[in-house]
């Protein structure tokens, strides 16, 4: 494999179960191929108009996609099984809620300036899907930042004064202008777009084909 790190841009939302599944699949492919890489996460809001109190996930999926409860439960079972294969624990329950993630994206922007964006992103996925914490609560977000070793007080200040609100909006707008309409959207080497959770084998094949092209 090439020794030059492969740039990987991942446009995603921490409310998106397929985003963590897709990332975990890609991570396994990167490990299998020994690909040197650097990951950059970018903001996308699945539900920018979500109110602060959030919404019951069953209700949300029914309203947005027209899914029945039986279909939602089948999808959850599929995602749980995929997650288990990849070492990620989805813990759904009847009270599982969707939340507004605009402030979470601001916190990720702040963490990126300290070289900890990737760690925070993964912590937020676990906080939402495994621990069912409220990611629209600034205190909860600050707690999670503190738990991975970032300054909790500074995290809370960032969220309170909204200093990165415009930066996040600009980034979201940029990716929408690039044609990104759904997530996960993964851009490899700034030129190859892969959408959705493609599976470990497919990601592995993408990486090997890219390496052959460079050779």
How much is the pLDDT for 2?
Answer: 52
Query: How many CB atoms are closer than 10 A to CB 66?
Result: 8
pTM over 0.85, yes/no: yes
Q: State the pLDDT confidence band at 1, using cuts at 50, 70 and 90.
A: very low
Under 8 Å between Cβ of 13 and 48: no
Which among 184, 197, 193, 192 is positioned nearest to 42, based on CA atoms? 184
Structure tokens at 183: 């997530």
**pLDDT digits 0-9 by tens, 57-82:** 999 999 999 999 999 999 999 999 99
pLDDT in tens, 12-52: 999 999 999 999 999 999 999 999 999 999 999 999 999 98
- Answer whether residue 211 shows pLDDT above 90: no
Q: Any bridge partners for residue 193, and if so which?
A: 187
- Among 185, 192, 13, 21, smallest CA distance to 90 is for 21
| Dist. CA 65–CA 3, nearest whole Å | 43
- In the three-class reduction of DSSP (H, G, I as helix; E, B as strand; rest coil), residue 169 is classed as helix
pLDDT band at 214 (very low <50, low <70, confident <90, very high): confident
pLDDT of residue 45: 97
Q: CA-to-CA distance for 188 and 209, rounded, in angstroms? A: 12
pLDDT band at residue 93 under the 50/70/90 scheme? confident
3-class DSSP assignment, residue 180: coil
With a CB cutoff of 8 Å and minimum separation 6, the contacts of 77 are none
pLDDT at 94: 84
Report pLDDT digits (tens) over 117-149: 999 999 999 999 999 999 999 999 999 999 999
2-18 residue pLDDT tens:
568 999 999 999 999 99
Q: Which CATH superfamily is domain 6-50+101-214 in?
A: Glutaredoxin (3.40.30.10)
pLDDT of residue 127: 98
Closest by CA to 164, choosing from 175, 153, 172, 174, is 172
User: pLDDT for 144-176, tens place per residue?
Assistant: 999 999 999 999 999 999 999 999 999 999 999
């Amino acid at each position: 494999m090439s020794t030059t790190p492969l740039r990987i841009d991942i446009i995603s939302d921490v409310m998106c179960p397929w985003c963590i599944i897709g990332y975990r699949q890609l991570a396994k492919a990167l490990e299998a191929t020994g690909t040197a890489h650097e990951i950059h996460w970018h903001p996308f809001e699945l539900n920018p108009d979500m109110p602060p109190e959030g919404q019951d996930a069953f209700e949300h999926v029914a309203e947005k996609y027209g899914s029945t409860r039986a279909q939602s439960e089948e999808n959850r079972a599929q995602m749980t099984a995929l997650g288990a294969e990849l070492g990620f624990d989805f813990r759904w329950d009847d009270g599982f809620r969707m939340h507004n993630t605009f402030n979470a994206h601001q916190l990720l922007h702040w963490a990126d300036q300290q070289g900890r964006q990737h760690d925070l992103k993964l912590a937020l996925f676990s906080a939402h899907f495994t621990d069912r914490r409220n990611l629209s609560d600034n205190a909860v977000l600050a707690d999670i930042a503190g738990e991975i070793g970032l300054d909790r007080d500074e995290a809370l200040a960032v969220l309170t004064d909204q200093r990165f609100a415009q930066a996040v909006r600009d980034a979201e707008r940029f990716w929408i202008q690039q044609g990104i309409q759904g997530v996960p959207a993964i851009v490899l080497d700034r030129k190859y777009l892969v959408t959705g959770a493609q599976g470990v084998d497919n990601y592995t094949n993408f990486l090997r084909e890219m390496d052959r092209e460079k050779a």
